[in-house]
Amino acid sequence: MPSPFGLLAELTYRCPLACAYCSNPVNLTEYSDELTTEEWQRVLSEAADLGVLQCHLSGGEPLVRRDLVEIVATAHDLGLYTNLVTSGLGFSRRRAERLFDAGLDHVQVSVQADEPVLADRIAGLPAFRRKLDAMRLVKEFGRPLTVNVVLHRGNIDRVAELLELAEAAGADRVELANTQYYGWAWRNRAALLPSRAQLDAAEAVVRAARERLRMEVIYVLPDYYSRYPKPCMGGWAARQLTVTPTGDVLPCPAAHTLPLPRASVRADSLARIWAEAPVMTAFRGTDWLPEPCRGCDRREVDFGGCRCQAFQLTGDAARTDPVCHLSPDHDLVVRAVEAANDDAVSPPPPVPRRRVRS
């Protein structure tokens, strides 16, 4: 069994934004009993002992944690590469100085669109200018910057402009990630799923940009339009693990939806959970695979696809991901795609995520 390479530390689900594509849990009030500073420091120490090399500090908005500097300092002292995944709100000059002095290595700023009106409408509040300020600060301090954009029906037509924004900000890397349909994004799927024509146009822009731009351009293809599913985080509980704000340990951020026994750092060590907890072992490897996956020559490539997506669409986490064209449930995806491409049907407006504040 390999050691995990990366830890996603979801420090809080509190967030000032109200993005309709948010994949965090819908029942956010159940996550108010957040891990303390000391508990997070213990988790980071156990993660380092387990072999983790990268620590992604996420949320929600991790900047609402007043102890973020202490958490970053602990991760740095343990030799972990730290990446702050943020909306940019709260990333003031003073906060940036303290975080970088504590050893923060990298910052990833989310952007909803390339111009203020659309970006602020998607975010649910005036945030666009503050995001630009945050990106300027990162580069002023000489740190690596990733610009992340969740693509959907409402902004995918502006991929060229989004790439121009990232280039102007001096980004080292830009992630154009088509929406994953969990949490609020699942509730808003009909409003968010782009058409085939939109995807074809966006992919042409990305191909041209990769030849022209110096920065790294990552384009995450939309599951629903793929012939085969993507591997689940490189395989279920193979290289990554997630710790939620209240201490639950998961193989991926969306696995909280699955009917599996919970495992918490408040009750057990991270090493024991990684090796033995049912939530980690349930779909690890390939022995559990159903047909047609069991006899497929791609079983060591995509591991049957996404367990959370299989559960979301079929109610059974052990079924073949319906994205796969060989899945007996593939028609569930086909119908969703047909609806997104039906010019006679106007998609409903997205329902914004409820905000959870301090």
217 vs 1, higher pLDDT: 217
Q: In this prediction, what percent of the chain has a pLDDT beyond 70?
A: 98
The three-state secondary structure class of 15 is strand
Please say if the pLDDT value at position 354 is more than 80: no
Listed in sequence order, the residues at least 6 apart from 36 whose beta carbon sits closer than 8 Å to its beta carbon are: none
Q: Other C-beta atoms within 10 Å of 39: how many?
A: 15
Least confident of 25-29, 38-42, 176-180, 185-189: 25-29
Q: Which residues contact 59 (CB under 8 A, 6 or more apart)?
A: 10, 11, 12, 13, 14, 15, 24, 85, 245
> pLDDT by residue (tens digit) across 144-181?
999 999 999 999 999 999 999 999 999 999 999 999 99
The mean pLDDT of the chain is 95
Higher pLDDT, 355 or 93: 93
Amino acid letter for position 162: L
For residues 71-80, give the mean pLDDT: 98
Summarize the annotated binding site as residue ranges: 15, 19, 22
Give residue 28's pLDDT band: very low, low, confident or very high (50, 70, 90). Answer: confident
Q: Can you say which residues are annotated as belonging to the binding site for [4Fe-4S] cluster?
A: 15, 19, 22
Token pair of 274 as six digits: 């990684």
What is the structure's pLDDT at 343? 86
Query: From edge to edge, which strands make up the β-sheet containing 173-178?
Result: 216-220, 173-178, 145-151, 106-110, 81-86, 54-58, 6-10, 240-243, 249-250
The yes-or-no verdict on residue 15 having pLDDT over 80 is yes
pLDDT for res 349: 86
Q: For residues 79-94, give the mean pLDDT.
A: 97
Categorize the per-residue pLDDT at 355 as very low, low, confident or very high, splitting at 50, 70 and 90.
Answer: low
Q: What is the predicted pLDDT for the residue at 230?
A: 86
Q: What is the pLDDT of residues 237-268, one digit of tens each?
A: 999 999 999 999 999 999 999 999 999 999 99
pLDDT at residue 269 is higher than 90: yes
Residue 346, pLDDT > 90, answer no
| CB half-sphere exposure, 135, CA atoms < 13 A | 25
pLDDT tens, position by position, 301-344: 999 999 999 999 999 999 999 999 999 999 999 999 999 999 87
pLDDT at residue number 356: 55
Q: How many helices (H) and strands (E) does the chain have?
A: 14, 9
Mean pLDDT of 175-190: 94
pTM: 0.95
pLDDT for residue 1: 66
Per-residue pLDDT at 357: 56
342: amino acid identity, one letter? D
